[in-house]
Structure 1
Amino acid sequence: MTDTRLRHAVAGRTILLTGTSCAVTDAAARHLSRAGARVLVATHPAHRSTGEVWVYRADPAAPATMRVLAEQLLDEHDRLDIVIHTAGTPPKQPSARNSRHPINTHYVGPTTLIRGLLPALRDDGSAQLINVSPAHLRLPLPARWGGHRASKAAFDTWFRGLARKARGRGVTTTSVYTGLVGTDVVTLICDAITLRPRQIAPWWLKSGRAIGH
């Protein structure tokens, strides 16, 4: 991925970044803004985004709030060219909250938002949906992280299932799986935008039987 190629891919386009990986969201927002994109960030109310971006605050654990956010985005922006969802990393300790919280945060909330945004995606073949997830979501789950990781794996499964419907509307979907030590996630996101593959993943995940749309 070169800066010139990225500028050609995103200059003047409207890109929405959402999800629970705040550090990745902020870094990607800055990079894409410098490349000439009009960047919107949907973030948790407690997070303070940086950079020259449009910021929308909504709690992903409240699906009704995500539905309102989708309506607001549709009202304020006549189109979206790229929507990028980034899943955060697991906490250091298992959550003491009930299972409904991670399910709403990582599955119900994000799917509600993206379903609401589909009408705003251009249907001329140029629009793209990108989901960024840790590759371990495609591997067996340790029991103590079951609720947290299973909710993210559910979104990943839903997103891959959305691919056929999206392609029918002229929308490209890309699943990005991070898993290599030292991998720059922002570079992977930029590669997804410029190359538009169905999947970017570590070699060991690509060789698994469960891979593919």
Structure 2
Amino acid sequence: MAKTVLITGASSGIGRATARTFLHDDWTVYATARDPADIADLADRGAETAALDVTDGTQIRAVVDRMDEEQGRIDCLVNNAGYGQFGPVEDVPTDLLHRQMDVNLYGPHRLIRAVLPHMRERGEGRIVNVSSVAGRFATPGMGVYSASKFALEGLTDALRNEVESHGIEAVLVEPGPVETDFADRADDELAVLERSGAYEKLYKLYDDGATFGGSSPVAVHPMDVADVVLEAAVVPDPEARYPVGAFADLSLKARYLPDRVRDTVFALFERLL
């Protein structure tokens, strides 16, 4: 019997590529998105599709119960749905911080709580949380987004040890910039901020070009990330973390620099701007 995977945020980018990669590897794929019309082509490719907003507990329970009823097993959960709320910490109102956490942190937590009883009953399962290098290395202008990913990393670290005795693994995938519409969504979220006037150099950095996806010269293709997600889902005895791309590797190494050195680099970069 084919293994089953539940993938959130499959309407575009990493999620869509991940659904296609798992289908190619002969998994039974439940691809989800807020609007099922956005993933109709995945249904044509053989995926089961469903509406799922990760902030909606009723929809989450419905999809998980459907998988259990139709397949009798949930082998893997890929928590991919998310977006980036960029902007200086002062300029991001608390309600937008809450929304960022609701999608990027509470959403995965809701899904984890929903699938774990089914995995535990079978004594096996794999949870793959798609994080970011921003979850290990925070930069100016990305504090809110980084906070959500730092929190997801901490949640996953604790979870990994909590579920190990039940035959379940929890893994993090940490991409750097990816060639998706992530940056476009981030620009939209940035545009709604009321600027304090104190951080125009940061805003100029965003205005001058994509720095975290899209056309960035260091961005990787979504299929590169999808391949790593599949590896994290199937490899025996998985690593705790899987960075994706040269930029991700370099960024994760940079976090070992003393804080004062990193702060000096950021200050120099700001002066150069």
Same fold (TM over 0.5): yes
3-state SS of the aligned residue for 1:153?
A: helix
Larger relative strand fraction? 1
Tell me how far 1:60 sits from its aligned partner: 1.8
Matched residue of 1:177: which SS? strand
1:200 counterpart = 2:194: no
Deviation at 1:93, TM superposition (A): 7.0
Contact 1:82–1:128 (Cα < 8 Å) also in 2? yes
What residue in structure 1 maps to residue 24 of structure 2? 34
Q: Which runs of 4+ in 1 moved over 6 A?
A: 92-96
How many pairs were matched up? 198
SS of residue paired to 2:8: strand
Shift of 1:118: 0.6
Asked if the contact 2:85–2:100 (Cα under 8 Å) also holds between the matched residues in 1, the reply is no
Q: Which moved more, 1:151-160 or 1:131-140?
A: 151-160
Which amino acid letter does the alignment assign opposite residue 146 of structure 2? R
Report the residue type matching 1:58 in the other structure. Answer: L
Identify which of 170, 173, 189 aligns with 2:229: 189
3-state SS of paired residue (1:101) = helix
Matched residues in 2 for 1:47 and 1:23: separation?
16
Residue 147 (structure 1) aligns with:
144
1:108 maps to which residue?
A: 106
Structure 2 unpaired stretches of 5+: 178-217, 257-273
Quote the residue 1:84 is aligned against.
78
Amino acid at match of 1:137: G
Identity of aligned residues (%): 23
Amino acid at match of 2:172: S
1:161 corresponds, among 135, 158, 161, to 158
Contact between 1:87 and 1:152, CA under 8 Å: does it hold in 2? no
Q: What is the 5 A alignment of 1:45-64?
A: 45=35, 48-49=38-39, 50-51=41-42, 52-64=46-58
- Give the CA deviation at 1:48: 0.8
Q: What's the RMSD between the two structures over aligned residues? A: 3.1
- The 10-residue stretch of structure 1 (179-188 or 30-39) with the greater mean CA deviation from structure 2: 179-188
Cα deviation for residue 72 of structure 1 reads 4.2
Q: Are the counterparts in 2 of residues 21 and 87 from structure 1 also a CA contact under 8 Å?
A: no
Question: What is the TM-score when the length of structure 1 is the normalising length?
Answer: 0.76
Q: Helix, strand or coil: the match of 2:105?
A: helix
- Using the TM superposition, give the Cα deviation of residue 147 of structure 1 relative to its aligned residue in structure 2, in angstroms: 3.1
Contact kept? 1:21, 1:86, Cα under 8 Å: no
CA contact (8 A) 1:67 1:112 kept: no
Distance 1:148 1:206 in 2: 20
More displaced 10-residue stretch of structure 1: 109-118 or 193-202: 193-202
Q: Does 1:131 align with 2:129?
A: yes
- Per-residue CA deviation, residues 86-130 of structure 1 (Å, 9 max, x unaligned), is 254526778776332222111222211211111222666652111
Match of 1:179 in 2: 176
Partner deviation per Cα, 1:171-197 (whole Å, 9 max, x = no partner): 122211112732611121122134332
2:108 counterpart letter in structure 1: P
Pick the structure with more helix per residue: 2
Rg larger in 1 or in 2? 2
Supply the distance in 1 between the matched residues of 2:106 and 2:146 (Cα, whole angstroms): 14
| Distance of aligned partners of 1:118 and 1:72 in 2 relative to their CA distance in 1, 3 Å threshold | same
Counterpart of 1:117 (choices 115, 118, 122) is 115
**Within 2, Cα distance between the matches of 1:155 and 1:132?**
9
Unaligned runs of 5+ in 1: 1-10
Aligned counterparts, 1:11-26, within 5 A: 12-19=2-9, 22-26=12-16
